């Protein structure tokens, strides 16, 4: 093959790789966050978690009477049963604040029905303000507020702040909960990643690194399968080559689908978080996906290599170059 032609082909290859990566990233972000502005708001709120605690949010005023009754009932219950347990509050936190926060936790669970963000906000993840939750609830046919763990935690922390306590929002990337001087509540997760403080968000970088695999496997296990297939199909099509071995192309596609299906059967999690969930399907699924990527990349490489070694032209079906395929 002429040197100029080979160099031109290689040059096109180096341009093609970043272009394909860009296309894949665009498809991925469009699938996870169809509204880019929503993603921007979500990230901005994560790095300013303390601002999400809004005790003066107008919507909370409609619950003032119920909250006053709840507080009175919690104090009376504590006096009637000193040293007992209430919800997730241990004997070590048998304080007035501990009893009140346990009551607030159950109050929020009753007022805010659990729902995934892709059902409520049509995106992979979104942390809403208190008023956004009330507004979305007013727009629902039955007037029900629906949110996942982050929305519930924001609502609970805002209520506790309204009642005169000092809550903090905490996340491990997979789950969001609330901490007060009385303890951790709203289902505390594993090692913390982000913690809200009056001076900003505290970041535990080592905790972040250790939480990424767990959070990623959990997200794959619960995210809508059809959206995952869009991302998988984009990756698959971008790795194909017109002269790729057909058997390798089919095998790569099958392995990708099998890998996703296995990862949806379980996720990596400590026993304290989900003792009933197995981690082995997630590991097996990742092995399948890795094998798929290896098969497709190898087949694509061989196809391109054969193309580079091909003769400049063909006449009468006979290859005029040094090697054919």
pLDDT digits (tens, 9 = 90+) for 11-53: 476 788 889 999 999 999 999 999 999 999 999 998 888 899 9
Task: Flag whether 158 is in a domain.
Answer: yes
Do 104 and 172 share a domain, yes or no?
Answer: yes
Number of domains observed in the structure of the chain: 2
Taking the CA atoms of 8, 235, 127 and 52 in sequence, report the sign of the dihedral they define: negative
First vs last Cα of the chain: how many Å apart?
14
Look up residue 310 and give its two tokens: 């091909």
Q: Are residues 109 and 90 in the same domain?
A: yes
- Look at residues 109, 69, 74, 110 and name the one whose alpha carbon lies nearest to residue 94: 74
Q: Which residue has the tokens 């629902």?
A: 140
Helix (H) or strand (E) holding 194: strand 194-197
307, 9 in Cβ contact below 8 A?
yes
Residues 6+ apart with CB under 8 A from 118: 124, 223, 224, 227
Note down the domain range covering 151: 36-203
- 188 and 223 in a single domain? The answer is no
**pLDDT score for 54:** 95
Q: State residue 314 phi and psi, 5-degree precision.
A: -130, 135
Residue 271: pLDDT above 70? no
Indicate whether 101 belongs to any domain. Answer: yes
Point out the domain boundary residue: 203, 236, 261. 203
Alpha helices (H) along the chain: 3-32, 36-46, 64-80, 96-111, 117-120, 130-139, 149-162, 205-222, 225-239, 246-263, 280-309
Residue 117 placed within a domain: yes
Same structural domain, 8 and 112? no
- CB atoms < 10 A from the CB of 67, how many? 18
> How is residue 67 written in tokens?
């909250």
Q: Do 257 and 181 sit in the same domain of this protein?
A: no
- For residue 319, pLDDT over 50 is answered with no
Q: Is the pLDDT of residue 235 over 80?
A: yes
Asked whether residue 171 is assigned to any structural domain, the reply reads yes
Six-digit token string for 81: 């049963």
CA 233/CA 324 separation, integer angstroms: 31
The reply to whether 321 falls in a domain is no
Same domain, 165 and 115: yes
In this prediction, residue 277 has a pLDDT band, given cuts at 50, 70 and 90, of low
Task: pLDDT band for 323, please (50, 70, 90 cuts).
Answer: very low
Are both 52 and 186 inside the same structural domain? yes
**Sorting pLDDT into bands at 50, 70 and 90, what band is 132?**
very high
Q: In this structure, are 105 and 72 located in the same domain? A: yes
pLDDT tier for residue 310 given thresholds of 50, 70 and 90: low
Segment 215-234 mean pLDDT: 91
Tens digit of each residue's pLDDT (9 = 90 or more) over 184-207: 888 887 677 878 777 777 777 776
How would you classify the pairing of strands 112-114 and 176-180?
unpaired
**Same domain as 185, residue 102:** yes
Pair (44, 159) in one structural domain: yes
Give pLDDT, residue 82: 66
Rounded mean pLDDT, 161-165? 92
Residue 52 lies in a domain: yes
CA distances from 105 to 19, 44, 155, 156, 157 (A): 49, 26, 10, 7, 9
The pLDDT value recorded for residue 41 is: 95
Residue 288 domain-assigned (yes or no): yes
Domain closes at, from 181, 203, 225: 203
Which pLDDT does position 115 carry in this prediction?
95
Q: Is residue 192 part of a domain?
A: yes
E strand or H helix at 196 = strand 194-197
Same domain, 144 and 238: no
Q: Are residues 105 and 252 in the same domain?
A: no
- Which of 145, 173, 203 marks a domain boundary? 203
């Amino acid at each position: 093959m002429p040197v100029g032609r080979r160099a031109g082909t290689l040059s096109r290859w180096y341009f093609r790789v970043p272009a394909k990566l860009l296309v894949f990233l665009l498809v991925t972000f469009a699938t996870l966050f169809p509204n880019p502005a929503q993603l921007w708001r979500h990230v901005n709120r994560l790095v300013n978690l303390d601002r999400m605690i809004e005790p003066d949010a107008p919507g909370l005023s409609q619950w003032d009477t119920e909250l006053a009754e709840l507080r009175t009932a919690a104090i009376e219950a504590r006096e009637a049963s000193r040293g007992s347990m209430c919800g997730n509050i241990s004997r070590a936190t048998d304080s007035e604040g501990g009893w009140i926060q346990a009551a607030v936790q159950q109050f929020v669970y009753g007022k805010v029905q659990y729902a995934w963000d892709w059902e409520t906000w049509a995106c992979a993840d979104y942390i809403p303000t208190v008023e956004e939750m009330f507004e979305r609830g007013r727009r629902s046919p039955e007037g029900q507020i629906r949110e996942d763990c982050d929305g519930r935690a924001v609502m609970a922390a805002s209520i506790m702040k309204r009642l005169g306590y000092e809550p903090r929002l905490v996340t491990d990337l997979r789950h969001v909960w609330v901490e007060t001087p009385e303890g951790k509540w709203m289902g505390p997760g594993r090692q913390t990643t982000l913690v809200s403080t009056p001076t900003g968000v505290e970041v535990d970088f080592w905790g972040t690194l250790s939480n990424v695999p767990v959070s990623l496997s959990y997200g794959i296990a619960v995210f809508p399968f059809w959206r995952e297939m869009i991302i998988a199909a984009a990756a698959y099509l971008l790795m194909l080559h017109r002269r790729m071995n057909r058997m390798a192309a089919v095998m790569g596609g099958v392995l990708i689908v099998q890998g996703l299906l296995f990862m949806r059967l379980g996720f990596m999690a400590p026993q304290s978080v989900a003792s009933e969930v197995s981690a082995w399907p997630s590991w097996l699924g990742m092995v399948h996906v890795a094998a798929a990527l290896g098969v497709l990349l190898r087949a694509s490489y061989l196809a391109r290599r054969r193309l580079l070694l091909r003769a400049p032209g063909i006449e009468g079906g006979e290859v005029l170059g040094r090697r054919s395929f």
